[in-house]
Chains A and B, each alone.
Chain A
Amino acid sequence: MPLDDTILTTNNVSKTFGSKTKAVEALRDVSFSVARNELCILLGPSGCGKSTLLNIVAGLEDPTSGSVSLDGEIIHGPSRQRGMVFQSYTSFPWLTVFENVEYGMKLNGVPKAERTERAEKFIELVHLSRFRDAYPNTLSGGMKQRVAIARTLANEPEILLMDEPFGALDAETRWHMQEMLLEIVETTHTTILLVTHDIQEAIFLADKIVFLSANPGRLKTVLDLEFKKGAELKSKEDLIALPGYLECEREITALMRAEAGKSEEDY
């Protein structure tokens, strides 16, 4: 793998929660990398440590051993280079949509003129221009997530981290959001690491799927989704119509079931 193409790597990341007497091993020796402009999906059964891994990448949690590096430098703690969108709605209720999107840039001392321009651009990008001055309280769940995405992107992170960003949304809204995310990737060429346990979402969005096995979370396999290469996906329908899609979904479902079955035996 050419080194200059890699933006993020995790090197043998392990994480054990709790004390010596009652320890929970969440991750063991996870190593993978994300290439620049890639949309990488972290997939795996519930409780396999996806969120933990993403939090470690974000710097919100320290690995018990191993390290994460961004652009070849080992990370310590959170920074604006690794912006995060959470599953819960995190738009600040006391700020309008515009002020929310402007928020990160304000923290980092971006001059006002540039701030306004960038905020407006990203609000447009997530189709919220009409709600520029609305408070999040008056927005739907999908719109709140769009605010969060615009806010993080406007802050120009090296990589966008997302932990089940559409997990709380209803199915239809989720499709729209997924399609919008692909649109955004097309225009901004952002690198994204996204956690999900929705197989279809993973296949639709991913350039690459990193599959974790359960108890403790280990790297099971990395899927490159060859069947998608070169295809132009605008909507879910395009994906489903693609030759090889069903085969891929079947394969991943089988992986998922095997892992879920395994963890049941552990209980």
Chain B
Amino acid sequence: MTGTIGQSTTPDKISGVAKRSMADTSSKTPRRRFFEFKKDIPTSWSITLGVAVWVSFFGVWEFAVWQQWANDILLPGPVKVLSALYTMFADNGFLNDVLISVWRVLLSFALACAVAIPLGILMGTFRTVEAFFSPFVSAWRYLPAPSFIPLLLMWFGAGDMQKLSLLFIGVIWFLITLITDYVKSVPADLIRTSVTLGGNRLQVLRTVVVPASLPNITIAMRQMLAVSWTYLVIAEITAADAGIGAVMMRAKRFLHVDEIMAGILVIGVLGLMFDFLLRQVYRFAFPYLEGRH
């Protein structure tokens, strides 16, 4: 590094762009600082930093186990958790529980969307529809879904129906509200354009309101699907004989902390997967938005 006399080499080392500044001696090259206000960082940085946080997390975890900071029944190491995960899938039929959970989330979410999307579109478009439903929807939004668990248990028992209905009421009100707001934000001039081109009510709805709000509806779905996973775990932990949450509660009874952690890991991975999936749907369904984000 003979060419960098008088310059701090630290930031260049990190950024991997040391070569760039060599030739330029006339003007002082701008130093890349580690902490910059609202500046984009190179992709290599973000990948490195993203990996670093996980490496540190597992490092600290493994270290804590190795140092015996906690009872190793209560705090198994990452390796132990991963092996427990393998055993669960290989020998205990955990895949079946995972599929049951996924099915519960997807079915209840599909039902919620089937109601919320048309209703939200109508509420966002027509003030009359909004005036009718809005007081009702807002009220329900402030009732925490888990408070219905005792009631749902009495009505439907501990079966699928109770899970599905909890998940349904857990997301439906927010989904309606979000979609209504997004539909309302469709520019009025787009609607007026269609109307002055001869569009009737149904045509305007179908050819302007829906396509204009579809990208944001997808975003609303992505946000609420994450919430749906939260309610799934709540539902399965309170009472269930199958599903990821049920497996975790059973593991608790036998003090299998590694299995509980494996369950948490699976829920996390599934959540990320669905988020990624919906993000891909967004990218492929709305190619015309490229460059806006």
CB of A80 within 8 A of chain B?
yes
Q: Give chain A interface residues in 82-131, CB to chain B under 8 Å.
A: 82-84, 86, 88, 90, 92-94, 103-104, 107-108
Q: With both chains docked as a complex, state the minimum distance between the C-beta of B201 and any C-beta of chain A, in angstroms.
A: 11
In the complex, chain A residues whose CB is within 8 Å of the CB of B158: none
- Given A86-B189, A103-B207, A107-B203, residue A94 in contact with residue B196 (CB < 8 A): no
- A141 contacts partner chain B, Cβ-Cβ < 8 Å: no
**With contacts A92-B208, A94-B212, A107-B207 known, is A155 near B193, CB below 8 A?**
no
Per-residue CB proximity of A45-62 to B under 8 Å, as 1/0?
A: 000000000000011100
Is residue B16 contacting chain A, with contact meaning CB distance below 8 A? no
**Contacts of A67 on B, CB cut-off 8 Å?**
none
Q: Is the CB of B189 within 8 A of A79?
A: no
Interfacial chain B residues near A32, Cβ < 8 Å:
none
Tell me if B11 counts as interface (CB < 8 A to partner A): no
From A90, A135, A155, B189 is in contact (CB under 8 Å) with: A90
B9 to chain A, nearest CB (A): 42
A80 partner residues in chain B, CB cutoff 8 A = 196-198
| A78 interfacial contact with B, CB 8 Å | yes
Q: Is the CB of B290 within 8 A of A82?
A: no
Give chain A residues whose Cβ lies under 8 Å from the Cβ of B292: 137
Q: Is A208 an interface residue (CB 8 A)?
A: no
Q: Which chain B residue has the least Cβ–Cβ distance from A103?
A: B197
B197 lies within 8 A of A104 (CB):
yes
Which of the four size classes fits the interface of chain B? 20 to 34
The smallest C-beta distance from B197 to any residue of chain A, in angstroms, reads: 4
A88 to B187, CA, bound (A): 9
* Pair B193/A137 contact, Cβ less than 8 Å: no
Which residue from chain A places its CB closest to the CB of B288 in the assembled complex?
A135
Q: How far apart sit A151 and B208, CA to CA, in the bound complex (Å)?
A: 15
A152 lies within 8 A of chain B by Cβ: yes
Complex CA distance for A93 and B288, rounded to whole angstroms: 7
A107 contact set on B, CB distance < 8 A: 194, 197-199, 203, 207
Query: Within the complex, what minimum Cβ distance (angstroms) separates B131 from chain A?
Result: 18
Q: Answer whether A151 and B197 are a contact pair too, CB < 8 Å, given A92-B211, A94-B212, A94-B288.
A: yes
Residue in B187, B193, B289 whose Cβ sees the most chain A Cβ within 10 Å: B193
**A169 vs B160: C-alpha distance when bound (angstroms):** 59
Report the nearest B residue to A152, measured CB to CB: B197
Confirm or deny: B136 has a beta carbon within 8 angstroms of a beta carbon on chain A: no
Are A84 and B193 CB-contacts (below 8 A) given A94-B212, A107-B198? Answer: yes
Whether, in the assembled complex, B30 has its beta carbon less than 8 Å from a beta carbon of chain A, the answer is no
Docked Cα-Cα span, A82 to B197, in Å, equals 8
> Which residues from A are CB-within-8-Å of B197?
80, 83, 103-104, 107-108, 151-152, 155
Say if the beta carbon of B18 comes within 8 Å of chain A: no
CB distance from B179 to the nearest CB of A (A): 18
Instruction: Determine the chain B residues whose CB is within 8 A of the CB of A104 once the complex forms.
Output: 197-198
- Type the 1/0 row for B192-228, where 1 means its CB is closer than 8 Å to any CB of A: 1111111100010001100110100000000000000
Is chain B's interface secondary structure helix, strand, loop, or mixed overall?
helix
Q: How far, in Å, is A91 (CB) from chain B's closest CB?
A: 9
| Chain A 134-149 interface mask (CB, 8 Å, partner B; 1/0) | 0111100000000010
B135 within 8 Å of A by Cβ? Answer: no
- A-facing residues in B262-293 (Cβ within 8 Å): 286-292
Which residue of chain B has its CB nearest to the CB of A82? B196
Q: Which residues of A contact B214 (CB under 8 A)?
A: 94
Q: How long is the Cα–Cα vector from A107 to B187 in the complex, in angstroms?
A: 20
B51 nearest CB across to chain A (Å):
34
- Provide the residues of chain B in CB contact with A108, threshold 8 Å: 197-198
Give chain B nearest CB distance to A143 CB in angstroms: 15
- On whether the beta carbons of A60 and B212 are closer than 8 Å, the reply is no
B190: nearest residue on chain A (CB-CB)?
A: A90
Complex interface: chain A residues within 8 A of B198 (CB): 79-80, 104, 107-108, 155
Residues of chain A with a CB closer than 8 A to B193's CB: 84, 86, 90, 148
Please give, as numbers and ranges, the residues of chain A lying within 8 Å of B203 by CB-CB distance.
107
Which chain A residue shows the least CB distance to B197? A104
Nearest 7 CB-CB pairings of A with B: A80-B198, A104-B197, A135-B288, A84-B196, A90-B193, A78-B195, A86-B189
Q: Which residues of B contact A (CB under 8 A)?
A: 187, 189-190, 192-199, 203, 207-208, 211-212, 214, 286-292
Other 5 A-B pairs with CB < 8 A, given A60-B196, A79-B198, A107-B199: A86-B192, A86-B193, A107-B203, A152-B197, A161-B196
User: What is A's interface to B at a CB cutoff of 8 Å?
Assistant: 58-60, 78-80, 82-84, 86, 88, 90, 92-94, 103-104, 107-108, 135-138, 148, 151-152, 155, 161
24 contacts between A and B (CB under 8 A): A58-B192, A58-B196, A59-B196, A60-B195, A78-B195, A78-B196, A80-B196, A80-B198, A84-B192, A84-B193, A84-B196, A86-B192, A88-B187, A92-B190, A92-B212, A93-B289, A94-B214, A94-B288, A107-B197, A108-B198, A137-B288, A137-B289, A152-B196, A161-B196
